């Protein structure tokens, strides 16, 4: 399971790894220059295809944002746009932790050079060593000498210790920082980060539920440039929801049937998945609860509001099992519950500006 860059950075920052100041933006007006605009796609080839733009002049911001937002990277449009500060770069390095399956251990792989085309560097520019809690001090000395970093040794030791903790505690199979930047202020900053999680460990991590789409949902992209997305349960209701929205003159981004008996984790994952459409302005949730419980859907919606930073406005229509409890849960979070799909669509239409 691969994470988007901003998700990976959020995770490593929880372990005192410094990341650039930044945020997910929906429009160029939400940031200021100088800024780095970064397409959020699961690909490592963004620089080559125009997915990363450094914008120094405010006059260039509109055009750069539109370019990054509309440029497909290996066939995929961005889930979101990350706007970050422009770092004052002294040196760039490469660092990763990976599973060495042949030797049943975790390895540290570093290079004295970072950035694009790192794979073309010769083997003499890389150092690969086993890493564990037992060898951090000696390894940090070796890394400092190899990278020729003019900084205190304990900074390297803390970096390795924190990366190892993050790797182990989150069941990561690959953690890659490229580049790891040494700034003019002598700080080490993860300018870019990629993380792959071990799918087999999902039972240990409840928070992973919103990273990926559960297997028991039927998800189809209809128009990835549309401004309205849908969540429904049951194929018939999902199709009827899409038809109703399009009959109101609104293109629909997706068809999503979360299935009968969908639980809180399923709904949370569904909302995270569809909120990655770059043009999205509203999500219409239309649930008729039989096996599914309205209160579980409501709890998932509240969790989504707390956990997903770029979640668009939600227009929620629920009917059926445990509706009264759902009303109470949503009202406590100031979330409106619509009595009809038509009224939800009408309000969503205003948000979309249609």
Residue 175 sits in a domain of what CATH number? 3.30.470.20
Strands 282-289 and 314-320: parallel
Question: What local confidence, expressed as pLDDT, does residue 72 receive?
Answer: 81
Q: What is the pLDDT of residues 228-277, one digit of tens each?
A: 999 999 889 999 999 999 999 999 999 988 887 667 777 887 888 787 77
CATH of the domain at 320: 3.40.50.261
C-beta of residue 322 within 8 angstroms of C-beta of residue 343: no
User: How many CA atoms within 13 Å lie on the side-chain side of 217?
Assistant: 27
Question: Range with the lowest mean pLDDT among 1-5, 126-130, 212-216?
Answer: 212-216
Question: What local confidence, expressed as pLDDT, does residue 86 receive?
Answer: 97
Tell me the C-alpha distance between 178 and 114, whole Å. Answer: 6
Q: Is-cis flag, bond preceding 189, omega within 30?
A: no
Residues 239 and 181 reside in one and the same domain = no
Please give, one letter per residue, the 3-state secondary structure of the chain.
CECCHHHHHHHHHCCCCCCCCEEEECCHHHCCCCEEEEECCCCCCCHHHCCEEEECCHHHHHHHHHHHHHCCECCECCCCEEEECCCCEEEEEEEEEEEECCCCEEEEEEECCCCCCHHHCCHHHEEEEECCCCCHHHHHHHHHHHHCCCCCHHHHHHHHHHHHHHHHHCCEEEEEEEEEEEECCCCEEECCEEEEECHHHHHHCHHHHHCCCCCCCEEEECCCCCCEEEEECCHHHHHHHHHHHHHCCCCECEEEECCCCCCHHHHHHHHHHHCCCCCCCEEEEEEEECCCCHHHHHHHHHHHHHHCCCCCCEEEEEEECCHHHHHHHHHHCCCCEECCHHHHHHHHHHHHCC
Sign of the CA dihedral running 55, 225, 219, 307: positive
For residue 15, is it within any domain? no
Question: What local confidence, expressed as pLDDT, does residue 219 receive?
Answer: 79
For 228, 267, 271, 290, 325, the CA distances from 318, given in Å and listed in that order, are 18, 13, 15, 11, 11
Question: What local confidence, expressed as pLDDT, does residue 215 receive?
Answer: 44
Q: Which of 289, 223, 224, 225 has its CA nearest to residue 262?
A: 289
Q: What is the pLDDT of residues 186-223, one digit of tens each?
A: 899 999 999 998 877 766 876 665 555 444 567 788 88
Mean pLDDT of all residues in 97-126: 86
Residues 315 and 192 reside in one and the same domain = no
For residue 331, is it within any domain? yes
Question: What local confidence, expressed as pLDDT, does residue 61 receive?
Answer: 97
Instruction: Write out the two tokens for 139.
Output: 């390894």
Residues 95 and 77 reside in one and the same domain = no
Residues 214 and 173 reside in one and the same domain = no
Residues 220 and 312 reside in one and the same domain = yes
Question: What local confidence, expressed as pLDDT, does residue 218 receive?
Answer: 75
Question: What local confidence, expressed as pLDDT, does residue 214 receive?
Answer: 46
Instruction: Write out the two tokens for 116.
Output: 């694009």
Residues 216 and 345 reside in one and the same domain = yes
Residue 39 has pLDDT above 50, yes or no: yes
Exposed, middle or buried, 228 (CB in 10 Å: 0-12/13-18/19+)? buried
Q: What is the pLDDT of residues 283-341, one digit of tens each?
A: 999 999 888 889 989 998 998 888 776 788 999 999 999 999 999 999 999 999 999 99
Question: What local confidence, expressed as pLDDT, does residue 125 receive?
Answer: 80
Calculate what percentage of the chain has a pLDDT beyond 90: 61
Domain boundary among 153, 170, 204: 204
Q: Which of 112, 117, 151, 126 has its CA nearest to residue 48?
A: 117
Instruction: Write out the two tokens for 261.
Output: 């008996």
Q: What is the pLDDT of residues 55-102, one digit of tens each?
A: 999 999 999 999 998 888 876 778 789 999 999 999 999 999 999 999
For residue 313, is it within any domain? yes
Question: What local confidence, expressed as pLDDT, does residue 274 receive?
Answer: 83
Total count of domains within the chain: 3
Question: What local confidence, expressed as pLDDT, does residue 353 receive?
Answer: 72
Torsion of CA 283, 288, 289, 295, to 10 degrees: 40
Question: What local confidence, expressed as pLDDT, does residue 81 receive?
Answer: 92
Residues 72 and 113 reside in one and the same domain = no
CATH of the domain at 48: 3.30.1490.20
Strands 81-84 and 172-183: unpaired
Mean pLDDT of all residues in 142-154: 80
Residue position matching structure tokens 């950035």: 115
pTM of the full structure = 0.65
For 11, 68, 223, 226, 338, the CA distances from 343, given in Å and listed in that order, are 39, 35, 23, 20, 7
Domain around 117: 89-204
Residues 172 and 231 reside in one and the same domain = no
């Amino acid at each position: 399971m691969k994470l988007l860059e901003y998700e990976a950075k959020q995770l490593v920052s929880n372990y005192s790894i410094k990341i650039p100041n930044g945020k997910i933006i929906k429009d160029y007006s939400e940031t200021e220059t100088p800024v780095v605009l970064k397409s959020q796609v699961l690909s490592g080839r963004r620089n080559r295809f125009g997915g990363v733009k450094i914008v120094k002049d405010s006059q260039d911001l509109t055009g750069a944002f539109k370019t990054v937002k509309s440029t497909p990277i290996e066939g995929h449009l961005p889930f979101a746009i990350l706007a970050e500060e422009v770092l004052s770069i002294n040196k760039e390095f490469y660092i990763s932790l990976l599973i060495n399956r042949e030797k049943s251990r975790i390895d540290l792989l570093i290079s004295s050079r970072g950035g694009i085309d790192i794979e073309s560097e010769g083997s003499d520019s890389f150092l690969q060593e086993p890493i564990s809690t037992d060898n951090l001090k000696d390894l940090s000395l070796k890394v400092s000498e190899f990278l020729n970093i003019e900084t205190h040794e304990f900074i390297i030791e803390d970096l390795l210790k924190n990366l190892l903790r993050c790797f182990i505690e989150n069941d990561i199979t690959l953690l890659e920082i490229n580049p790891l930047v040494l700034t003019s202020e002598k700080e080490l900053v993860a300018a870019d980060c990629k993380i792959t999680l071990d799918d087999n460990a999902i039972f240990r991590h409840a928070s992973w539920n919103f990273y990926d789409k559960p297997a028991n949902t039927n998800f189809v992209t209809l128009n990835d440039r549309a401004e309205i997305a849908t969540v429904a349960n049951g194929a018939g209701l999902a199709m009827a929801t899409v038809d109703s929205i399009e009959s109101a003159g609104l293109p629909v981004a997706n068809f999503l049937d979360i299935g009968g008996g969908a639980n809180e984790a399923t709904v949370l994952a569904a909302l995270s998945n569809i909120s990655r459409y770059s043009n999205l302005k509203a999500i219409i949730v239309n649930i008729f609860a039989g096996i599914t419980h309205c209160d579980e859907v409501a709890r998932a919606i509240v969790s989504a509001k707390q956990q997903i930073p770029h979640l668009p406005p939600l227009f929620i229509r629920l009917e059926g099992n445990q509706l009264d409890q759902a009303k109470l849960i949503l009202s406590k979070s100031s979330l409106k519950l619509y009595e009809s799909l038509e009224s939800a669509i009408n309000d969503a239409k205003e948000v979309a500006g249609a």
